[in-house]
Copies of this chain bind each other. A is one copy, B any other.
Amino acid sequence: MHPEDLLDVIRRYKGDRTVLIKKLPEQVLVDIINQAEDQEKVGLLELLSEDMQKGVINKISADELVDLIESVPDEEAIEILNKIDYNDIDEVKELMSYDPDTAGGIMTPDFIAINKLMTIGDILKYLRSEMSEAETAYYIYILDDQDSLIGVVSLRDIVVNDLNVQVSEIMTENVISVPVEMDQEEVGHVFEKYGFLMIPVVNTKNKMLGIITVDDIIEVLQDENTEDIYRLGGLHEGERVAGSVRDSVKRRLPWLFVNLLTAILAAATVGLFEGTIQRVVTLATFMPIVAGMGGNTGTQTLTIIVRGIALGELTFENAKKVLLKEIEVGMTTGISVGITVGILGYLWENNPIFGVVIGLAMLLNMVAATFSGYVIPVTLKKLNIDPALASAVFVTTVTDILGFFFFLGLATIFITSLI
């Protein structure tokens, strides 16, 4: 049975988990805890006796252990650190020194490294003795005396070559690696680009520090995607669908109050024109159309720009062309929608000038919407702020305010023709 399926059984088990877990051999427990979510790891560990905890902690892979330690309060972290064997503690501490969102934060230090003078026969012998340790033996890295990365061979290369061939004859020398401080999202792009199963991580001196495997990258990409989707939707990235009411309220309220401020700005814009609305009350009826259509046009542009930045498809090279494209799209769709709404307004009020006012306001607002849907995320990106934080809220604020301003402003100018 796969550890992940055993984990599912434990998750669904209604009885006393302590009894269930004590029946499992230590290696199976280690595999299960390696697979579990960070919070689950803690819960599972707590079910074990002190002795068993110590045994398991020293067998979990170092990177999983660091994730575990970083997810618990300081006191518990110290307790776990105290249970780690003297030999392993330096490795764990080194891993803890890297920012969790970088290559260093997601790499594992368990990789197979050899000397370039070894033959295939030597490597096979070495693998048979070491294999139980390294989970990730599909690639074998060749280091020089300073631990600098000088080559890589795959297990396939080893299998298909003769035993007396020296590894230096068959190794690939241009190894693609990532620097230890590279952001994890960028590491994800490297995996996407090359389709690798794993990538070595090096420091500035090309010393090999660890490897990142593709299964960890899938998690990274999913987390980054969730973060973007959440931010575009005005949610804090830490929220979970099955979380508590208290947690959700605490995370959503600040965002709603930011939005309240922006809504008040939009309301204040309308407030400037109360006199005009008093005289032509149908203006109030058409307000939601101008604001709504502007908001949606802006959200369309915002969405494609934010995603384009995340996927690396919007670059310095095509940025200006994309901006011009978006504005042209705003003009073209603005003319179509503007004429439609203009006719609607004309028929509703039986007044062609009313049609011109609403149609023109719509066109102006939709062009402004594509412009701000581009400029807001691109500016945030330049300021090194996540462009997804631009979120619909800020763009719709602009389109609300400008929409009301154009519509009610034009109505004020043409007021004598509207009454």
Contact = CB atoms under 8 A, between A and B. Distances in A.
A175 to B, nearest CB: 10
B337 A305 contact: no
Interface stretch (A21-29, A41-49, A55-63, A216-224): A216-224
29 contacts: A4-B195, A131-B156, A131-B159, A131-B160, A138-B197, A158-B159, A197-B215, A221-B221, A221-B225, A225-B229, A226-B307, A226-B311, A229-B306, A232-B232, A232-B233, A241-B313, A242-B321, A245-B325, A255-B296, A256-B293, A256-B337, A257-B337, A260-B293, A260-B340, A266-B288, A268-B285, A278-B281, A288-B291, A288-B404
Closest 10 pairs between A and B when the two form their complex, measured CB to CB = A233-B303, A241-B308, A195-B215, A263-B292, A284-B284, A225-B225, A266-B288, A271-B285, A263-B289, A245-B328
A248 B240 CA distance: 34
A397 to B, nearest CB: 8
Residue with the greatest number of chain B CB neighbours at <10 A, chosen from A2, A242, A285, A297: A285
A17 interface: no
A416 interface: no
B293 A259 contact: yes
Given A138-B156, A232-B233, 7 more contacts: A35-B195, A195-B215, A221-B221, A243-B325, A260-B340, A292-B400, A295-B396
Secondary structure call for the A interface: helix
Given A128-B159, A253-B333, A303 B242 contact: no
Interface stretch (A69-77, A103-111, A186-194, A379-387): A186-194
B284 A270 contact: yes
A322 interface: yes
A299 interface: yes
A30 interface: no
Contacts of A404: 288
A341 B257 CA distance: 10
A303 B155 contact: no
A241 B396 contact: no
Given A192-B219, A270-B288, A274-B281, A259 B2 contact: no
B233 A333 contact: no
A302 interface: yes
Contact of A284 (B138, B155, B274): B274
Nearest to A216: B195
A332 interface: yes
A410 interface: no
A46 to B, nearest CB: 23
A218 B229 contact: no
B241 A314 contact: yes
A327 to B, nearest CB: 9
